[in-house]
Structure 1
Amino acid sequence: DDNKKLCLNSGEIIKLTGTMTMVFEPEDLAAASPATVSRNGMVLMEPHMLRWTSLFESWLEHLPETLASTHAQLQKLFDYFLPPLLRLVKKECKEPIATKDTELVHSLTKLLNSHLAEFKDEDLAKGIGAGDVVKRIDGGFLFSLIWSVCCTTDDAGRLKCDEKVREMLAAEGCPKMSVQLPDKATIYDFSWDTSKCKWLGWLETVPAFQIDPKAKAQDILVPTIDTVRYGYILETQLRNDYPVLFCGDTGTGKSVMVKERLMKGMGEKFMSHFINFSANSKANQTQDIIDGKVDKRRKGVFGPPLGKKLVVFVDDLNMPSKEAYGAQPPIELIRQWFDHQSWYDRKTFEVRTIIDVIMVGVMGPPGGGRVALTNRIMRHYNFLAFTEMATRSLHMIFSTIMSTWIQANFGQHPKIAEYSALTDKVVSATAHVYQTVLKELLPTPAKSHYTFNLRDLAKTFQGVLMGDTKRLTEPEDVVRLWIHECNRVFADRLINKEDHAWFLELITSQVSTRFELDYGNLVPGRLMFGDYIVPGAEPRLYQQVEDFEKLVKTMEEYLDDYNASTTKKMSLVMFLDAIEHVSRICRIIRTPLGNALLLGVGGSGRQSLTRLAAFIADFKCFSIEITKGYGKTEWREDLKKCLKTAGIENQPIVFLFTDTQIVKESFMEDINAVLNSGDVPNIYGNDEIEAIGGVMRPILQAAGQPQTKSALYAAYLQRVQSNLHVVLAMSPVGDAFRTRLRMYPAMVTCCSLDWFSEWPEEALLAVAQQKLADIEFETEEIRQGVYDVCKVIHSGVSAMSQQYLVEMGRHNHVTPTSYLELLNTYKDLYGVKRQDVLTAKRRLEVGLDKLKSTEQLVGVMKVELVELQPILVVKGKEVEELMVVITKDKEAAEVTAAACAVEEKEANEKAVATKAIADDAQRDLDEALPALDAAVASLKSLNRGDIVEVKSLGNPPAGVKMVMEAVCIMFEVKPEKVKDPNDAMKKIDDFWGPAKAKVLVDPSKFLNDLFAFDKDAIKEGTIKKIEPYIANPDFTPEAISKVSKACTSICLWVCAMHKYYHVARMVEPKKKALAGAQAELDETLAKLAAAQKELKEVQDRVAQLEEKFNGAIEEKTTLANKVEMCNVKLERADKLIGGLGGGEIR
């Protein structure tokens, strides 16, 4: 803008400095705003400013030196032929895509370069004579002129060019020519043989064609003059690295010719990759596809493997839709590569140079979703227009196929002459039907699928070739099969009775004029062929259905078998109209490359019938399941699984896809690619492609075919297309369907169509009969009447909906689902109303029964009332007597309870006193017990070795002796008398000897004796003997621990026993007091228990009496109520019987 700021979508701003200048070079100003135009200086480069002569002069200068002598001749040829022919093409001829003079001249020079390629090699050029050089120049120029300047028009334009070229060659001012064009045919019917310097018919350049009797119909490619010449030009240009673009109507064989030539005619030096454009194709997607097919050569340079060329074949080149400002990003990307041989890596933003790549394009004429290409990209291509296939070519192709089939199957038949005569008749009749349909059944908004092409013609013959020849016993059977196939190919897509009637008239006329037969006698009724007539047959024979009742039963058996094999059962009514749709689907999916487009409103049975047809054909039926979050990743995985099933597992599979499953339009983009080529760009990773190659390699090896990477993948795709059958179930209502037909032409061109019309009356009746079969009607007349009424209602609403559309301009769709809802609603409502009537009837019957039973009950109740009165009096007396007894027993229980309370209080007081005595004694004991526990714990730390150590002392220390003396006293072991060491005349007590002999003799026993010592049985005399030791300051654990570990523990034990003895003596009186108190408490508790037992017995007796009393009261009350109720019932019964007595009589 005026501020010289460039504002980007990201929000960034680039400031343009004074040294920066922007230069735009657009083709036109269609997308430029007035503001943009006003801020720019304009320079118009008119086309005539750069004339084709400048291009020619540049080309002339770059010719090899070996052709320097031919410059003058070339100048004359260009100057003489080009101006008039360019003027003719622009002014008087119709081009499918408008071209520029420079583009046509550029194409001429490139094609001429291809014919003069030998002159680039001086050695080869020297071997060519001067005369031959002139011939090659003249012949090569004429050929290049024809297939550059003169080949961009339609058939009428070509005739004008043929006439003009011949006229110019015959004119006096024509430069001297060393070669002349043949007089016969047209200039487009001959090829220039450079090596022989002569013109040859195109079919003379290829070997004679013979059909292999074992070949499948879809694999038969009969060479025609069109396929040969276009294939030759394609191969010539590719071998010289020139891109080629073909334009022609759908079905003219463009893609087939290119693929056939690339796969079989180019040799191993050329690799190929196919891309199908659609309206939604993106530039990034296109870049990723091509990037995925090239390898890195060096930094920033990519290409196919060394020594190879990559041919990128783009089908439907002009299909991508335009952006808001008129650009087609995928095409602009290709144009960028043409101009710069490179584009930018979108991740690193580095330049990626792509080399050794040749572009080949195929496109349809602009219109119907296709747009015209810009001159910027057109100038790079050698452009050739595919004209409509000539009638002679059609006859040659299909006559060759038909005659081969008839000769192979009826060669030994007695009527072989009649069968052979059918060839021309069938071919002529089919061509006439196709051409008539093409002219008369034109597409309209309501019939947008009324588009026909040569593929439809081929499908007709493919269907005829499927017939079981053993059942075609008469030539009329072949005609009948031909009629059926015409109906399937052309009539199945027709939407109304008027179109069907018109087509029937067309077929009838052809049967009469071409075959000289009467249509009514030939086809007296419904005509159906199929391979499902005999379930389980192998091979499956495509034959006519003759018994339709048997066919219905067969289809019902198929349906039962299907329901038995799946959890998702289908409840279908197999009427003939539905069976016919099943038959059509079976026919489509039994053919290789057979895909179906089923058109009908929701509820018409498209999906159910497809699943049944797949089951009948013994194919797997696959359909995606839409879940929350289902997106492109999940879609690609499901699609890849389906493709691998067809390609790797070689298993036939039906892919059922409906318009309600189109979560994203990219799904249709992939479907379009699958229909076109069996492939989805970049759907497989490198490891998956390697796995595919591993599966296909042994197959190609066994067939003796080359096993290059591209050949392996092409064989895989061929298998995918043979096994995968896409069935699209779409609704034709609304703009969405028409838009998709424009955006994805493969929906029509690669699919066989089946229009699901409204159900006929027989179908409506059949469905009603099945849905309402379990309803109970009074008579068969009523049942049939209900069926007829349902049919009339549905048909009437459908007719009124048409009138509603005409008058109000609004749709009211009456679908088969609506009819089913009608039947279900009637069935449900009938059940409800029938139940209401039965309920009312049952209520009346119950009322009458009640009246009768009431009369009987009244008599019974009167008798019962009389019997209850005396029983009630007796029960009253029993209650009074029980009340007296209960009162006495309650008083006795109260006295016993008071005595128990006194006893309980006394027992509680004694229990408290006893507990106090026990607690006091326990406190005293608790003083001695810790010392005792410590001594025992210390003893546990001793082992047998410690005792042995003490025992082994010869002259033990005084502390040890002192301890052992104390132990001997505790165990009442008497000492020995020994001499006093201080006075020999005296004897003293010595415990050490007895201790060793009696106490320490068995260390283990000694320890056990210490633990088991009865502390409560210590004698008073023993304690008196121990007292001196206890009082001795040397007899302490601390003192003893200095001389012996074992004796320390024993010392602790002796001290603990001494202390326990004194505590026990002090506690003894308290124990006696406790025993006395406990005895008194036990006696008191015994008295209390006796009193409580007595009390319980009294209370139990009172409770029993009260229970008995309550029972008597309840019984008395019940009797009283019963008497009262009887009186009330008798009163009500009298009123009821009196009130309803008249009704009962009625």
Structure 2
Amino acid sequence: MTDGFYVTWGASEGGGVMAPGQSLPPHGKSLGRLDYANLCQVIHKGAVLYGRDNRELDLLLFWEVCHFVSRVDRVLSRPGGSLLLAGRSGVGRRTATCLVSHMHGYTLYTPKISRGYSLKHFNNDLKNVMQLAGLEGQQVVLLLEDYQFVHPAFLEMVNSLLSSGEVPGLYSPEELEPLLSSLKDPASQDGFTGPLFNYFAYRIQQNLHIVLIMDCTNSNFTISCESNPALYRKCSVQWMDGWSESSMKKIPEMLLAKVEGEGEKSGGEKGHKRKGSASGQGDLCRSFLMIHESCREYGATPSQYMAFLHVYTSIYSSKQSQLTLRQQHLQAGVSKLNEAKALVDELKRRAAEQSTLLRTKQQEADSALQEITTSMQNTSDQKTEMEKIKGKIAQEVSKCEERKGKIDDELREVQPLVDEAKRAVGNIKPESLSEIRSLRMPPDVIRDILEGVLRLMGIYDTSWVSMKR
């Protein structure tokens, strides 16, 4: 029994979201048992969904929170279940109400108090709520806090609404007639035979859940409750005065763990923990509690304790981010120095390799220079030899010129004979050649001439057939 919470989410059929216009079972939703771990999972999932649809809840889950949520759940899951949450500010009454209402699919309504908020505005807000619950059949949660009772008549009207489901004089007869006409069919389906206004009030009592959040330390708290007895008779009075000492010590641990987790994500640290995290964190949490206890006589509330912790975590987070940023700068500087050192080492290594390569190339250059010197010496020798050959060639050219002169002299003597032969050949007629070709055997003179011609032409076939061809 110590670790169990009886809630609607633990029932076999579950505590699902209500469909629009769906009424609660006559005795409320079924309950089932959930242990602490499972209930935390359910509440966390509900908080995530609430954050998507409305605003993100800064919710820390510890035993009292689960206990508060389970108490609110059991009351709001009954037809017309209403709550008077008495306690001090900051214990989580509003958060529990908003969360449970959203998880059940109820419509949450709370007046928006402004500087000129008056009785007329409150009447309009009550009409909206009553019409949602009485006409449309929606499950509506009307959340009212101490600061919203700016007029004494507000609490009296809520008392009437709790007692009978109506507020005398709120509607004029002209307003009611068109409103109630839409309830004729639902009333006949439910077998209701009385006046439609009574059916309207009955539906309000079934579908409207009023949650009053009041400060029990206020001097007017007892007077307000005694003046409006429906707050005792029609509401489930839940006292939420504070948290246990163990929870008060656990809250700072949870906040610091959350801040450190966010710091690790943003700073990219892995496995870093504060020195002496177990003992040091425990001492720190005890110090927080001692500071809060020392202010009890001045009326310190849980909300002020949370504000104190949030201020501390904000300062801690700011200092942590500053140190993390400085550490990152230092790490970046060290990283640059390491890179420079590695670069210098690499340059030294390359310089050593280049030095070795330079020695090798120098040796190759010296060898090449030696070869060039030898080659130049050989070239010089070859040049001398070429000069000698050139002299010999000049002598040969001189001899050739001399021989050419002799040949030219001989040609001058022979040239008239050649010219005469050309003229003689030019006088040969084709008829004479045809006549010779027709001979069966040529005369000796013609044979000797033609054989000489063939020899000069390089043809050694000196037969008559070859001669004719």
Task: Give the TM-score band, short-chain normalised.
Answer: 0.5 to 0.7
Taking the TM superposition and a 5 Å limit, the aligned residue runs for 1:1111-1122 are none
2:289 corresponds to: 795
Give the counterpart letter for 1:788 in structure 2. Answer: G
Is 1:696 equivalent to 2:190 in the alignment? no
Is 1:531 equivalent to 2:25 in the alignment? no
Taking the TM superposition and a 5 Å limit, the aligned residue runs for 1:552-563 are 552-563=40-51
| TM-score of the aligned structures, taking structure 2 as reference length | 0.61
Which string of whole-angstrom CA distances, capped at 9 and with x for unpartnered residues, describes residues 485-515 of structure 1? xxxxxxxxxxxxxxxxxxxxxxxxxxxxxxx
Equivalent-residue separation in structure 2 for 1:670 and 1:608 (angstroms): 25
- Residues 818 and 846 (structure 1), Cα distance of their counterparts in 2 relative to 1, 3 Å cut: same
2:375 corresponds to: none
The answer to whether the 8 A contact 1:552-1:576 is kept is: no
- Residues 838 and 774 (structure 1), Cα distance of their counterparts in 2 relative to 1, 3 Å cut: closer
The answer to whether the 8 A contact 2:83-2:238 is kept is: yes
> 5+ residue gaps in structure 2?
19-24, 265-270, 341-469
CA drift at 1:769: 4.2
Which string of whole-angstrom CA distances, capped at 9 and with x for unpartnered residues, describes residues 899-922 of structure 1? xxxxxxxxxxxxxxxxxxxxxxxx
Equivalent-residue separation in structure 1 for 2:17 and 2:41 (angstroms): 17
CA drift at 1:798: 4.4
Which string of whole-angstrom CA distances, capped at 9 and with x for unpartnered residues, describes residues 1051-1077 of structure 1? xxxxxxxxxxxxxxxxxxxxxxxxxxx
CA drift at 1:832: 3.6
1:682 corresponds to: 169
Which string of whole-angstrom CA distances, capped at 9 and with x for unpartnered residues, describes residues 561-610 of structure 1? 111222x2212122232111111111111222321001121122111110
Give the counterpart letter for 1:696 in structure 2. Answer: L
1:1133 corresponds to: none
1:651 corresponds to: 138
1:569 corresponds to: 56
Taking the TM superposition and a 5 Å limit, the aligned residue runs for 1:187-336 are none
1:627 corresponds to: 114
1:730 to 208, 211, 214: 214
Equivalent-residue separation in structure 1 for 2:228 and 2:188 (angstroms): 37
Equivalent-residue separation in structure 1 for 2:109 and 2:190 (angstroms): 31
Give the counterpart letter for 1:729 in structure 2. Answer: I
CA drift at 1:658: 0.2
Is 1:551 equivalent to 2:28 in the alignment? no
Where is the helix percentage greater, Structure 1 or Structure 2? 2
CA drift at 1:762: 4.7
- Residues 715 and 795 (structure 1), Cα distance of their counterparts in 2 relative to 1, 3 Å cut: same
- Residues 698 and 737 (structure 1), Cα distance of their counterparts in 2 relative to 1, 3 Å cut: same
The answer to whether the 8 A contact 2:249-2:289 is kept is: no
The answer to whether the 8 A contact 2:87-2:214 is kept is: yes
Equivalent-residue separation in structure 1 for 2:162 and 2:315 (angstroms): 47
Is 1:599 equivalent to 2:86 in the alignment? yes
- Residues 695 and 589 (structure 1), Cα distance of their counterparts in 2 relative to 1, 3 Å cut: same
The answer to whether the 8 A contact 1:562-1:615 is kept is: yes
CA drift at 1:846: 6.1
CA drift at 1:614: 0.9
- Residues 848 and 537 (structure 1), Cα distance of their counterparts in 2 relative to 1, 3 Å cut: closer
1:669 to 156, 160, 163: 156
Equivalent-residue separation in structure 1 for 2:218 and 2:307 (angstroms): 24
Equivalent-residue separation in structure 1 for 2:39 and 2:219 (angstroms): 39
- Residues 787 and 838 (structure 1), Cα distance of their counterparts in 2 relative to 1, 3 Å cut: closer
2:126 to 639, 646, 652: 639
1:744 to 228, 235, 248: 228
Q: Provide the secondary structure at the position in 2 that maps to 1:763.
A: helix
Give the counterpart letter for 1:800 in structure 2. Answer: S
Which string of whole-angstrom CA distances, capped at 9 and with x for unpartnered residues, describes residues 727-760 of structure 1? 0001111212122123222222221111113222
The answer to whether the 8 A contact 1:619-1:654 is kept is: yes
1:830 corresponds to: 316
Which string of whole-angstrom CA distances, capped at 9 and with x for unpartnered residues, describes residues 605-628 of structure 1? 111110111112221111111123
The answer to whether the 8 A contact 2:63-2:247 is kept is: yes
Equivalent-residue separation in structure 1 for 2:242 and 2:192 (angstroms): 51
- Residues 836 and 647 (structure 1), Cα distance of their counterparts in 2 relative to 1, 3 Å cut: closer
Which string of whole-angstrom CA distances, capped at 9 and with x for unpartnered residues, describes residues 860-901 of structure 1? xxxxxxxxxxxxxxxxxxxxxxxxxxxxxxxxxxxxxxxxxx
The answer to whether the 8 A contact 2:82-2:235 is kept is: yes
Q: Provide the secondary structure at the position in 2 that maps to 1:679.
A: coil
2:238 corresponds to: 754
Q: Provide the secondary structure at the position in 2 that maps to 1:603.
A: coil
The answer to whether the 8 A contact 1:765-1:791 is kept is: yes
Taking the TM superposition and a 5 Å limit, the aligned residue runs for 1:472-483 are none
The answer to whether the 8 A contact 1:677-1:721 is kept is: yes
- Residues 667 and 846 (structure 1), Cα distance of their counterparts in 2 relative to 1, 3 Å cut: same
Is 1:588 equivalent to 2:82 in the alignment? no
- Structure showing greater relative contact order (alpha-carbon pairs closer than 8 Å, 6 or more residues apart): 2
Which string of whole-angstrom CA distances, capped at 9 and with x for unpartnered residues, describes residues 1059-1097 of structure 1? xxxxxxxxxxxxxxxxxxxxxxxxxxxxxxxxxxxxxxx
Equivalent-residue separation in structure 1 for 2:30 and 2:280 (angstroms): 40
Equivalent-residue separation in structure 1 for 2:71 and 2:136 (angstroms): 26
| TM-score of the aligned structures, taking structure 1 as reference length | 0.26
The answer to whether the 8 A contact 2:72-2:97 is kept is: yes
- Residues 787 and 643 (structure 1), Cα distance of their counterparts in 2 relative to 1, 3 Å cut: farther
Give the counterpart letter for 2:308 in structure 1. Answer: L
Corresponding residue pairs, total? 317
CA drift at 1:689: 1.4
The answer to whether the 8 A contact 2:142-2:211 is kept is: yes
Equivalent-residue separation in structure 2 for 1:728 and 1:531 (angstroms): 22
CA drift at 1:653: 0.6
Equivalent-residue separation in structure 1 for 2:321 and 2:188 (angstroms): 74
- Residues 622 and 789 (structure 1), Cα distance of their counterparts in 2 relative to 1, 3 Å cut: farther
CA drift at 1:691: 2.5
CA drift at 1:641: 0.3
Give the counterpart letter for 2:8 in structure 1. Answer: D
Is 1:819 equivalent to 2:313 in the alignment? no
- Residues 684 and 800 (structure 1), Cα distance of their counterparts in 2 relative to 1, 3 Å cut: same
Equivalent-residue separation in structure 1 for 2:205 and 2:61 (angstroms): 31
CA drift at 1:558: 1.2
The answer to whether the 8 A contact 1:604-1:756 is kept is: yes
- Residues 697 and 551 (structure 1), Cα distance of their counterparts in 2 relative to 1, 3 Å cut: same
Give the counterpart letter for 1:663 in structure 2. Answer: V
Equivalent-residue separation in structure 2 for 1:589 and 1:763 (angstroms): 26
CA drift at 1:665: 1.2
Equivalent-residue separation in structure 1 for 2:78 and 2:137 (angstroms): 15
The answer to whether the 8 A contact 1:655-1:725 is kept is: yes
Equivalent-residue separation in structure 1 for 2:306 and 2:279 (angstroms): 18
Equivalent-residue separation in structure 2 for 1:839 and 1:779 (angstroms): 17
2:255 corresponds to: 771
- Residues 628 and 545 (structure 1), Cα distance of their counterparts in 2 relative to 1, 3 Å cut: same
The answer to whether the 8 A contact 1:675-1:750 is kept is: yes
The answer to whether the 8 A contact 1:599-1:732 is kept is: yes
Equivalent-residue separation in structure 1 for 2:58 and 2:96 (angstroms): 11
- Residues 591 and 800 (structure 1), Cα distance of their counterparts in 2 relative to 1, 3 Å cut: same
The answer to whether the 8 A contact 2:3-2:36 is kept is: no
1:615 corresponds to: 102
> 5+ residue gaps in structure 1?
1-522, 806-810, 854-1146
Which string of whole-angstrom CA distances, capped at 9 and with x for unpartnered residues, describes residues 83-133 of structure 1? xxxxxxxxxxxxxxxxxxxxxxxxxxxxxxxxxxxxxxxxxxxxxxxxxxx
